[in-house]
Amino acid sequence: MAENKNRKLNTSDCVFTFAVQPSFSTDESTGKNKRKFAGVAYSGEVIQNHYKWGNVVFDLFSISIPARLPALIDHDPAQRAGYITNSSIDLDNGFTVSGELLSNTAGSSVSSDSDEGFPWQMSVRILPNSIEELSAGASAVVNGRTLNGPLTIFRNSKIVEVSFTATGWDSNTSAVAMSQGIPETHKGNSMEIKQLEEKIKEQDVIIAQFKTDNENLKKALEIAKAESEKFSLSARQAAIKQLFFSVGREYKENSEDVAGFLSMPQEAFDFASKVITEQAAKPGLNQKDSFLFQHQATAGTSARGAIEEDPLIANAKVRAQQFSNRAI
């Protein structure tokens, strides 16, 4: 015999999720392509192994249903996906519902995920007015079936809302997903775990290749930089040799004169070369005199005082100053 119990309920105790894949369709009659859904919210069978109630069954014929139920995602009031427009109860089909999806983010996510094959399931929040506990060995008739204890029976219950969820308990409920009003059966997720693992492996290979390419690029840049510096040094040495040759001076690779010219910025070297070449080309200048090179490349030597009074050097200094003023 069933025994009435007054047990304290909290919000989570009244949530029951069923293994239902509701159907979805498109209503083109309004010209707005409004999405609809339908499914079995509860089959009327015993729900096995609920975490609080154990084996539990709802008395279908004592359930009260509001005229319009909200349809949420995961029982979250902030995720309003749609609403129930019609519902019915009978022994053959259980508690079935149909309704319309909203055009907001929640409603669109439900329909788009279903179109791509996601097996949405249905869940209800139900508040029982009375709870009967059937002890082991006892039996009771519920929803046209004789059921044996231990069992919890919800009677005079009120459906509060229906939700779309990813998991369910009631394996006796079923439905198909539809797009544009055409039935389409989906068996499981479109992306299996094995496929995901393969994709992860592919991404790992791509990342490893990217790291290798990045290291190779760094090495190539370092080599290119070294080659560029080597080329610049060779080009400067060749220019110094040409300058020495043009004024009749011997080129000594390790001399202070050469070192001074090598350390000059490119613009300073170009200007110094121009001044020396022009000064050396004037009549009466002994091209083998070293003061031009000493002045340009080794400032601060002991000969500096005498060099600065030479008219050729003075002229070169004036022209260098004019060059600097123009650059500014």
213 has a pLDDT exceeding 80: yes
- Per-residue pLDDT averaged across 282-299, rounded? 51
Counting every residue written for the chain, the total comes to 328
**Could you state, in order of their start, the residue ranges of all structural domains in the chain?**
2-190, 201-327
- Per-residue pLDDT averaged across 238-266, rounded? 81
Provide, rounded to the nearest whole percent, the portion of the chain with pLDDT above 90: 16
Alpha helix ranges (H) inside the chain: 105-115, 193-246, 256-263, 266-280, 291-297, 304-309, 311-327
Q: Give the mean pLDDT of the chain.
A: 74
Confidence of residue 259 (pLDDT cuts 50, 70, 90): confident
- Per-residue pLDDT averaged across 140-161, rounded? 92
pLDDT given at position 59: 94
Beta-carbon contacts of 312 under 8 Å, excluding residues fewer than 6 positions away, are 279, 282, 285, 291, 292
Cα separation, 258 vs 231, in Å, equals 17
pTM listed for this prediction: 0.46
231 CB-contact burial (10 Å; exposed 0-12 / middle 13-18 / buried 19+): exposed
Does residue 10 or residue 278 have the better pLDDT? 278
Cα separation, 122 vs 73, in Å, equals 9
- pLDDT tens across 16-74, in order? 655 556 676 776 665 556 788 888 888 888 888 887 888 999 999 999 988 788 999 98
230 has a pLDDT exceeding 50: yes
- pLDDT tens across 79-137, in order? 999 999 998 888 888 888 888 999 999 999 998 988 888 888 888 888 888 999 999 99
- Per-residue pLDDT averaged across 172-188, rounded? 36
177 has a pLDDT exceeding 50: no
pLDDT given at position 183: 34
pLDDT given at position 323: 56
Confidence of residue 315 (pLDDT cuts 50, 70, 90): low
Q: Look-up: residue for tokens 């010219």? A: 261
pLDDT given at position 3: 54
DSSP summary character for residue 242? H
- pLDDT tens across 47-58, in order? 888 878 889 999
